[in-house]
Amino acid sequence: MTEQNQPIESLQKTPLHAEHVALGGRMVPFAGYHMPVQYEGVVAEHLAVRKAVGMFDVSHMGEIELSGEGSLEVVNYVITNDASKLPDGKAQYTCACNERGTILDDLIVYRLNAKRWIVVCNAANHDKMVPHFIAQAKGKCHCEDASDRTALLAVQGPKAVETVGRLGDDGPAIAALPPFGLRTARLAGVECVVARTGYTGEDGCELFCGADHAVKLWRAVLEAGKAFGIKPTGLACRDTLRLESRLSLYGNDIDETTNPIEAGLGWVVKLDKADFLGKKALEQVKAAPLPRKIVGFEMVDRGIARHGYPMLDAQGKQIGVCTSGSPAPFLNKNIGMGYVPSAMSEVGTKLWVDCRGRKLEAVVVKTPFYKRPKA
């Protein structure tokens, strides 16, 4: 999860770095940034998001802005989902693939209107995805890297929208946003783009604002959330929250060796739309039996599966690898994900994980491991 050997002085800092230090955040290298991995502790922060509200600084993510007549065409050619189906004020989760049909990155694309788009990419893929979009946009629309001038706050949890609603200005109107809806808004005196999105499996909002206004907005959200016990939350619980909700992590569960179909992301691949990067390769994948699939599993024996641990059959032969694994604080179980042969992907299938030389039993289960209760 971290690059522990990277010199601190070489790392980038988000506009909120000093806030994290002042709040006692434990700072670590992550995707080229100096980021808070935790404050009070992983479990306390995880449970705050599940039960009330927490706030993440995700300003390290990359923001790419496209504008002009050809922007929809460019976005739709780069991604596997169908952006042409989006109305104004709506966002969409998707993958971007190469010609081989394997995953360059997973993204969220935000349509403000037909001629204005924001694409959020993973921080570790910023230097790959920005030139990729710029190259595709050449001669068709304007495309620029807005990452350095943009801050992004994720307010997550069952009390997140109510917290944002207390920021004054357009705050009360945010409750009307549907899932994956977005709008421009003024919150605590700061001009923002607000989206009802997140990476935790909970309700919540992501707030885009100018980097110069990040501290003001961060402090305002913490003040507004005091009544609900808001906690600043770090990268560690972001990882456990997304795993409980079976959300893929680039570099672990998906990368340029995996395709969206085997990764359980076939629902974001729209083969009936016009041509897009990787379409021919993905048509071939879809037409043939899948050699392997990603599964979710629970540990039966006591132990924690970690990224990279071998997954075994009953005879001890390696049949896959754990891509993500950790304790699930809300579920009070040890869970994981990994790729196995399709014949071993059915719910209830027994498998084993080599946890540092110990062969520990696990069982394939239905995912997501956690799904938030309906309101």
The count of structural domains within the chain is: 3
Residue 132 lies in a domain: yes
Residue 284 lies in a domain: no
Token digits of residue 64: 């790419």
Residues 157 and 53 reside in one and the same domain: yes
DSSP 126-141: HHHHHHHHHHHHTTTS
Q: Which helix (H) or strand (E) element contains residue 9?
A: none
- Each of the 375 residues of the chain gets a pLDDT tens digit; together they read 334 566 788 899 999 999 999 999 999 999 999 999 999 999 999 999 999 999 999 999 999 999 999 999 999 999 999 999 999 999 999 999 999 999 999 999 999 999 999 999 999 999 999 999 999 999 999 999 999 999 999 999 999 999 999 999 999 999 999 999 999 999 999 999 999 999 999 999 999 999 999 999 999 999 999 999 999 999 999 999 999 999 999 999 999 999 999 999 999 999 999 999 999 999 999 999 999 999 999 999 999 999 999 999 999 999 999 999 999 999 999 999 999 999 999 999 999 999 999 999 999 999 999 999 886
Residues 98 and 15 reside in one and the same domain: no
Residues 360 and 233 reside in one and the same domain: no
DSSP 313-369: -TTS-EEEEEEEEEEETTTTEEEEEEEEEGGG-STT-EEEEEETTEEEEEEEE-S-S
Residues 163 and 234 reside in one and the same domain: yes
Phi, psi angle pair for 294, to nearest 5°? -85, 140
Residue 266 lies in a domain: no
Residue 371 lies in a domain: no
Residue 249 lies in a domain: no
Note if the bond before 232 is cis, omega within 30 degrees. no
Residues 70 and 181 reside in one and the same domain: no
Residues 161 and 226 reside in one and the same domain: yes
Residues 15 and 78 reside in one and the same domain: no
Q: Is 168 left (phi over 0), alpha (psi -120 to 50) or beta?
A: left
Domain limits for position 202:
8-59+149-244
d(CA 374, CA 371) in angstroms, rounded, equals 9
The dihedral built from the CA positions of residue 366, 367, 370 and 372, taken in this order, carries a sign that is negative
- Domain boundary (145, 172, 196) is at 145
Residues 128 and 181 reside in one and the same domain: no
Residue 253 lies in a domain: no
Residues 20 and 32 reside in one and the same domain: yes
Asked if 339 and 255 touch (Cβ cutoff 8 Å), the reply is no
Instruction: Give CA torsion, residues 75, 81, 84, 85, to 10 deg.
Output: -150
Residue 2 lies in a domain: no
Residues 177 and 156 reside in one and the same domain: yes
